[in-house]
Amino acid sequence: MKHNWEYRRLGDIAPAKPFKGTITSSNDKYWCLNLDKVESNTGVVLEYDYIEESELGGSVHKFAVDNVLFSKLRPNLNKVVVPEQNGYCTTELVPLHPLDILNRYYLAYYLRSPKYVNFLIGKTGGAKMPRVKMDIFWNSTIPLPPMEKQEQIVAELDQINGLIAKNRELLSQLDALSQSLFYDTFGDPITNPKGFPIKTLKDVCILKSGDSSANRLPVGKVPYVKVGDMNLLENKQGILTSSKFVNIGNKTKLLFPIGTTIFPKRGGAILTNKKRLTKVQICCDLNIMGAIPQNIHPLYLYFFFLEKDFSELVDGSTVPQINNTDIYPLKIQVPPLALQEEFASKVEAIEAQKVKVDAEISELQNLLDARMDYWFN
């Protein structure tokens, strides 16, 4: 033991303890937390949903403000919440009640630490919906330094997390700056106040869908992008990589060129409105569609797509999907190419700043992981 601290069973010092008290309503509605509203790795609540009591259903339980909420589903997503108020949550979140000898923020950091998360990943059951085996969870141990030391550790990790949060906020501000620049340069794309020529998307791009045959190609160097790969940290500012790489050989028709705007075309992922610009040549699976620019600047076309809510385009089938016939007829204002290039030059300067901020976030995240490894192992 590096620090010569006592190790205690989680089940002994942070038992499951659903709240038995009354949950205060807000205008007769109650906060109900589902996993999709929790950010991975940080436990930040992305959105507070308040619903009527009749909508709560049977798959929820109460929790208190002094609990720590641990997600037993898909531990690789690393969702641990320190709530700021009482509420209801999905039964996939386990309310832990740390005893007085255990700081709940210290507990949350321990549960999020890379080594502990990797330990849990190796102890899951179920192929499609992997869950932590809770008997293993309760019997796992946590180092228990004196409370003053726990508070010191929390303060140190909070400081690093605070710097990460500030940099993420800076990224959001840079994104907003690019969006504002789009409107300042071209006006509202719907009302077209500057009177630019109007065309259809069929006039300015070629739509291309992914091909499942690419999944059967041998291992190589070309990213084979699935919808989930759009969420990779390295792809946040544009598609650079994937979880799988293939050798396309002479099957060049499978390639999506640099400067293609890609987006989900099938399933619930459409409703997330994710769009990414390719920074390298890729191939995609059949759940992705790409818009390849023709006589229009790739960045201008990309920002046009960012303004579109694809949830308005999905058909009424059981599995949502969009097709060429939904995209091609859409109207797009087409400013002079010189103005598009001027806009793109300014956006690229902003993107260069975002790359620097992303690098700072990565360094801080590595530092956070290293400090958690130092304190908890």
At 338 the pLDDT is 97
Sequence-separated (6 or more) residues with CB below 8 Å from residue 292: 205, 206, 207, 208, 256, 257, 259, 260
Kindly state whether residues 133 and 156 are assigned to the same domain.
no
Q: CATH no. for residue 177?
A: 1.10.287
Kindly state whether residues 103 and 115 are assigned to the same domain.
yes
Structural domains in the chain (count): 3
CA distance 233 to 241: 10
Kindly state whether residues 61 and 78 are assigned to the same domain.
yes
Kindly state whether residues 240 and 329 are assigned to the same domain.
yes
At 269 the pLDDT is 87
Comparing 127-131, 153-157, 237-241, 353-357, the range with the smallest average pLDDT is 127-131
Prediction pTM value: 0.82
At 3 the pLDDT is 81
Kindly state whether residues 240 and 109 are assigned to the same domain.
no
Q: Is the model's pLDDT at 237 over the cut of 60?
A: yes
Quick: pLDDT tens for 255-279: 999 999 999 999 888 988 999 999 9
At 26 the pLDDT is 79
Put residue 238 in one of left, alpha, beta given phi > 0 → left and psi -120 to 50 → alpha. Answer: left
Kindly state whether residues 96 and 20 are assigned to the same domain.
yes
Q: Is the model's pLDDT at 14 over the cut of 60?
A: yes
Q: In which domain, by residue range, is 175 found?
A: 146-188+336-377
Confidence class of residue 316 from pLDDT cuts 50, 70 and 90?
Answer: low
Q: CATH no. for residue 115?
A: 3.90.220.20
E strands, 36-96, in order: 50-52, 60-63, 68-71, 80-81, 87-90, 93-96
Is residue 102 helix, strand or coil? coil
